[in-house]
Structure 1
Amino acid sequence: MTIQAECRLTSASDLAFGNTGVIQAAITSTSTIGVQCTNTTPYNIGLNAGAGTGATVAARRMTSGAGATVVYELFRDPARSQIWGNTAGTDTLAGIGNGAVQSLTVYGRVPAQTTPAAGSYTDTVQVTVTY
């Protein structure tokens, strides 16, 4: 048998910021991504800017049905200082596979901002693994 280098995304949980009124202070939350790679296989996990109009990896946008937006950010570190984007070697998360599922934490933050109209705000971010 020959085992070839491979990586798979096994799971990705929703990042939920909960319910709030006026966004006068930062709101934080976390979610997890599961990745499984063959032992010793180096990998990079990238997150795109999301589906919100005008979004960037530094300022993603959740959108309501009426088109209003809430800016949010995704980070690779608990201090929320390293933006998580999709440019390998710059803002992706690098790791080395161990053959088992590895759980990676996504650290989210909605910064204080002018609060838009009441409603439900969502976004979809694509996760990419390269190896």
Structure 2
Amino acid sequence: MKIALLFATAALGVAVAQVASAATETSSIGASASVTTVCTMDSSALAFGEVALTGATPGTATVNVTCTGGGDYTVGLGNGLHNVAAQRNLVSGANILAYDLFKENTHTTRWGDAGAGLVSGTGTAVEQTLTVYGQITTGQTLVAGNGTPYTDTVQVTLTY
């Protein structure tokens, strides 16, 4: 019995020694993310309606830009499919009607596709609406479009 009791006591001592020698290790997980500037854009049509015989005929369109917060962008407008020497033109068959696009409603600063002609902004993660101010050039000989409207297509370029 003494041998059994001695053996049981020794076994208990080994078990206690194993519990007493348990250790804990810790580690950490690094977390990171990067946010790059991402933008989306859409635009509306510019409809001048019926062109006035006297005076300039204005019209407006919009370009809607949404960029991540803090992201800088520029918007440029091309000269259109029917431009001649950078003059934007609406066309109906062989008939041409000159027009232009501007940054403000006073029609003084041409909205173009480079340098000072660009419109710039900074994203806020909320849609920003930019207004395009169009105007039919005055002093033109107006020719009816023979049932076909005068049209043009202008490329809008968003750079970010």
Tell me, yes or no, if structure 1 residue 130 matches structure 2 residue 159: yes
Tell me, yes or no, if structure 1 residue 94 matches structure 2 residue 116: no
Judged with a 3 Å threshold, the aligned counterparts in structure 2 of structure 1 residues 74 and 53 are, in CA distance, closer, same or farther, namely: closer
TM-score by length of 1: 0.88
Tell me, yes or no, if structure 1 residue 12 matches structure 2 residue 43: yes
Which structure's residues are more often strand, by fraction? 1
- For 1:123 and 1:113, the matched residues in 2 are separated by 20
Counterpart secondary structure, 1:62:
strand
Does structure 2 conserve the Cα–Cα contact (< 8 Å) formed by 1:52 and 1:61? yes
- 1:68-104 CA-partner distances (Å, limit 9, x unpaired): 11000100112111100000x3210010010111110
Structure 2 counterparts to residues 14-33 of structure 1, below 5 A: 14-20=45-51, 22=53, 24-33=54-63
What is the Cα deviation at residue 3 of structure 1?
2.1
Structure 2 residue aligned with 1:49: 79
- For 1:103 and 1:109, the matched residues in 2 are separated by 19
Judged with a 3 Å threshold, the aligned counterparts in structure 2 of structure 1 residues 93 and 62 are, in CA distance, closer, same or farther, namely: same
Structure 2 residue aligned with 1:108: 134
Structure 2 residue runs without a partner (length 5+): 1-32
TM-score by length of 2: 0.73
Structure 1 residue runs without a partner (length 5+): none
Structure 2 residue aligned with 1:61: 89
Counterpart secondary structure, 1:90:
helix
Tell me, yes or no, if structure 1 residue 34 matches structure 2 residue 69: no
- For 1:101 and 1:123, the matched residues in 2 are separated by 26
What is the Cα deviation at residue 21 of structure 1?
5.6
- For 2:88 and 2:61, the matched residues in 1 are separated by 16
Larger Rg: 2
- For 1:117 and 1:91, the matched residues in 2 are separated by 31
- Of residues 70, 86, 89, the one that matches 2:97 is 70
Which structure's residues are more often helix, by fraction? 2
- For 2:111 and 2:141, the matched residues in 1 are separated by 24
Structure 1 residue aligned with 2:106: 79
Percent identity for Structure 1 against Structure 2 = 37
Backbone CA RMSD of aligned residues = 1.4
What is the Cα deviation at residue 53 of structure 1?
4.4
